[in-house]
Structure 1
Amino acid sequence: MYTFLIIIGVLLLLIFLLYIDFIVGKAITKRKVTRRNYPFRESNFQIFNDGKDLFPDLFQELENAEKHIHILFYTVKADTISTQFLEILERKAQDGIEVRLLLDYLGSFQIRKKIRNKLKEAGVEFAYCNKPTLPFFYSLQVRNHRKISIIDGKVSYVGGFNIGKDYIHANLKLSPWRDYHFKLTGEGVDDLQREFLFDWTDATKTNLLQNPIYFPEQPKGNARHQIIPTQGVYLEDVLCGLIRNTRKTLFIGTPYFIPSKRIMKELCMAQDRNVTITLLLPTKPDHILVKEASFPYLRTLLKGGARAYHYKHGFFHGKIITADDEICLVGTPNFDKRSIFLNHELVCCIFEPSFITEMNSIVAKDIAVSEKYTLQYLEKPKPKTVLLEWIARIFAPLL
């Protein structure tokens, strides 16, 4: 009995210390973050929702690079697709092209020292971002979740896809993989370039932001938009502002629906204004607890008249919010507390009607292969689901 009490005491102390570490780390980060505001730009967009279409296009643009390649991914796996990707970077570096590869420390843990050394030997400048620092527990939770590729400062990609064979439907559990990514050319490339170089400076202490070779003259595109970077701060403000100004319809597509209290309040207030809210989520989760964590919020919104669907044709990983068919937010953040309060994310707000029409068409096809959530299903869960939902509430700040 005495030993048992000691074990319980040690566990409680550990939980308390982790809690203090998290609170202190969050406060320190909030004080350090400076908000970056980019102006409205005009660029051209090409949408990709299948990795089998995205990767050949991205890889070909990398092959065509003449001056410099800058790439940031949350996850690069160690598999055949990743090997092909890294071999292109090595070959371009050997040809004299400047190649910089920045990966999240935990998200790309599969890139072992042997692989990193091979990249560096070929001339690729490699760095990890978000390495753990004091406070340790908090810094382990903060991830760079951005996915940015810039070629010669003229062509860029951003969205939800990482690099690996999972994203070309090779994961037997989650395939086919559904995501939203886009290719951007025009004025907005400069802002993506700046964000990459800001992250590169943080990781390597080498500041290249003033070098004009990375910022060639850009043509105007057809779509008006704005790039919004967030760093565990400000995303909540962006989402609340969008919801507050929505008048008729709001669509949210996300793999994880775990909103903050403030955002949930805005969603309920939108329903009181007769805003029609539609949600698209995955059927199969790719992480433990995230599905059950969404159920309390879904119950509340469904009672208020919202419609929620779960995608049946594989795994839905898309990140999109459309308000009144007038503004569309796509990029890297999920609709969860981790993206809102912890991760480094990047959102592109697009105002071009033709882009929004195209995205609406893609979303309509995704809803057509989805099943509607019902209150009856959510209010009568299985005992296992009840237990997982209760556990999910404890860990909600990290989900």
Structure 2
Amino acid sequence: MSLPQLVTLLAMLLHVAGIVAAMHAMMNTRTPQGAFAWALGLVFLPYVTLVPYLYLGRRRFEGYVTLHRAHRQRLSEASLRGEFPGVPPSCTQYAALAQMLGNSFHPGQQLRLLIDGEAAFQAMFSALAQAERCVLVQFFIFHDDNLGRRMQQALLERAAAGVQVYVLFDGIGSHALPRHYVETLAQGGVAIHPFATERRSNRFQLNFRNHRKIVVVDGWTGFVGGLNVGDEYLGLKPPLSPWRDTHLQMSGPAVMDLQRSFAVDWHWVTGELPPMLPPRPAQGSADTLITATGPADPQETCSLFFTVAINAARRRLWLTTPYFVPDQAVMSALRLAVMRGVDVRVLLPSRPDHRTVFLASTLHAHDAINAGIHVYRYQPGFVHQKVILIDDDTVSIGSMNLDNRSFRLNFEIGAMNVDRTFAKEVEHMLIDDFAHAVEVTRDEYRKAPYLRRLAMHIARLFDPIL
């Protein structure tokens, strides 16, 4: 067979494979926009899209889904039996959210706002040092750097003291973590495993990452937020430093739901359950709903979480996110909030950490400005916090980004807190953030060079996988 004939045969085989993959995409992609984008590329440009589809196009992981939904069903049945409290009067606007998540608001939480990495990790290390019975730790990213080794040493010390220590990290998010880091922890008595939705290794599976950040100490003190374990989260790695982030420390019965989320993931990975320590009497003033979302849910819970939160706003909606790639439902909710007279503000980074996402975010920001939304870019460094302030009483802090990856592809977790005192504290934090930001105008897009504007529109075509 001559070289031209071989090239022709390979091209035909690629197009056939592309058509087969396009049929798979049409049958399995959740949204029509995503199905259309994949099918179009696979049919006409299989040379470019076939390999990425192998990594990004898979939608199913039935074993985990079955386990997760069985857990949700047990929670729902427990709620019907009255084992969980109902929705407090101050939280009725979020009743649909609680019902969708199969979860409840827990009264009496004690909350502590942790601004930036130094404060957050100091609080986490302090809590870990006082652990007496059990520690649960889950992060998307662990790095073998100064902060990573401090975390490693803290966990080893607790294990040596007889504390049961359980650690989960995401296999893709922590792809650079060396084997010896994990082996050192395991040899020191720490139970540690990578998370994946398939128990068998699959190098073609990049979707369905576990983006959750959870620390639970003795079943009572819990942490959630945007930080991972690495020096960059302390602002030690230019050019993105200083790194702006927010974490939340809580004490109270809602921490039980952090334990439950961790337990489902741990059980999937290991077939075993970690200890579930009972809650203590509540002593705080906040009503807290733990918002664990992910692609195993029967509905797109993360997108719906943002939609419910936005629709609840009557006077103010301030949110911060590193990636602004809203889907149609979330963008419509934001537009309607403006029409209701809500003060809608979005705080974004001024520097990119992922250029394609940044380009798409810039175009979405332009659309938001045209809709009457006030968009700001944080100037000192990279803003990575995921915070929502609703009116004068509600704050959400967690791992959810405002993009399709969080909406439909990642496992996320956060805490929605209804408490006027805590909301006032967050308001002061965000006022300071906005004071270090500049408001974006239509000129950011209009005065950009033509090729950059073209790049924005091309980047937005990849919204379903950003």
TM-score (norm 1): 0.91
Q: Give how far 1:12 is off.
A: 5.4
Equivalent position of 1:272 in the other structure: 339
Structure 1 residue corresponding to 2:416, chosen from 317, 324, 349:
349
Does the 8 A contact of 1:187 with 1:221 survive in 2? no
Q: Structure 1 residues 31, 333: closer, same or farther in 2, change over 3 A?
A: same
User: How far apart, in 1, do the equivalents of 2:380 and 2:286 lie?
Assistant: 31
Is residue 119 from structure 1 mapped to residue 152 from structure 2 by the alignment? no
311-320 or 215-224, larger mean C-alpha shift: 215-224
Backbone CA RMSD of aligned residues: 2.5
Q: Which amino acid aligns with 2:303?
A: E
Equivalent position of 2:105 in the other structure: 40
Q: Structure 1 residues 271, 6: closer, same or farther in 2, change over 3 A?
A: farther
- Identical counterparts, % of pairs: 29
Q: Which amino acid aligns with 2:267?
A: T
Is residue 296 from structure 1 mapped to residue 359 from structure 2 by the alignment? no
- Per-residue deviation, residues 262-293 of structure 1 (Å, max 9, x unmatched): 11122222223332311100001111211111
Q: Which amino acid aligns with 1:383?
A: Y
Q: Give how far 1:186 is off.
A: 1.4
349-358 or 388-397, larger mean C-alpha shift: 388-397
Is residue 364 from structure 1 mapped to residue 441 from structure 2 by the alignment? no
How do residues 31-180 of structure 1 correspond to structure 2 at under 5 angstroms?
32=66, 34=69, 35=72, 36-41=101-106, 42-130=108-196, 139-180=205-246
More strand by share: 1
Q: Which amino acid aligns with 2:234?
A: I
User: How far apart, in 2, do the equivalents of 1:87 and 1:159 lie?
Assistant: 22
User: How far apart, in 1, do the equivalents of 2:230 and 2:389 lie?
Assistant: 28
Q: Rg bigger for which structure?
A: 2
How do residues 222-241 of structure 1 correspond to structure 2 at under 5 angstroms?
222-232=285-295, 233-241=300-308
Does the 8 A contact of 2:139 with 2:213 survive in 1? yes
- Per-residue deviation, residues 18-71 of structure 1 (Å, max 9, x unmatched): 663663843666975535422211211111112112222211221221111110
Structure 2 residue corresponding to 1:192, chosen from 244, 255, 258:
258
Provide structure 2 residue ranges, at least 5 long, that are not aligned to the other structure.
30-56, 73-100
- Per-residue deviation, residues 275-319 of structure 1 (Å, max 9, x unmatched): 231110000111121111123322222112211000001110010
Does the 8 A contact of 1:147 with 1:161 survive in 2? yes
15-24 or 334-343, larger mean C-alpha shift: 15-24
Report the 3-state secondary structure (helix = DSSP H, G, I; strand = E; otherwise coil) of the residue aligned with 1:183. strand
Q: Structure 1 residues 355, 2: closer, same or farther in 2, change over 3 A?
A: farther
Provide structure 1 residue ranges, at least 5 long, that are not aligned to the other structure.
none
Report the 3-state secondary structure (helix = DSSP H, G, I; strand = E; otherwise coil) of the residue aligned with 2:142. coil
Q: Give how far 1:113 is off.
A: 1.8
User: How far apart, in 1, do the equivalents of 2:267 and 2:203 lie?
Assistant: 23
Equivalent position of 1:306 in the other structure: 373
